[in-house]
Amino acid sequence: MKQQYVLIHWVDATLNDAEQHSRKIAEEYELIGGVVAGFLVKEDKEKVIVAMDWFPKDDQFRQIAVYPKSGITSIKRLTLKEKK
């Protein structure tokens, strides 16, 4: 399999600090957009798994994150050419 590098845009939960807020202020919170770029480890119907580092000699990954497909708004893919 040829290794892909992906750029993913997704929406995520917004978390506030530990301060107390009124209902009016709390109701103004929105989802936040995020962007991640990394090596595609796996993609299926419910999730996309991405790694920051890839070691092609042994096909090993490091710094792995899992994103639910339900929050992903776009994926751009780049297929890496094999090193000669």
Measure the CA–CA gap between 20 and 1, rounded to whole angstroms.
Answer: 51
| 18 within a domain of the structure (yes/no) | yes
Measure the CA–CA gap between 12 and 40, rounded to whole angstroms.
Answer: 20
| pTM score, whole prediction | 0.85
20-43 pLDDT, tens digit each:
999 999 999 999 999 999 999 999
What is the mean predicted confidence (pLDDT) over 44-72? 97
Arithmetic mean of pLDDT over the chain: 94
With helix as H, strand as E and coil as C, how does the chain read?
A: CCCEEEEEEEEECCCCCCCCCCHHHHCCCCCEEEEEEEEEEEECCCEEEEEEEEECCCCEEEEEEEEEHHHEEEEEEEECCCCC
| 22 within a domain of the structure (yes/no) | yes
Number of domains in the chain: 1
Structural domain including 51 reads: 4-79
| 84 within a domain of the structure (yes/no) | no
| 70 within a domain of the structure (yes/no) | yes
What's the pLDDT score for residue 82?
A: 74
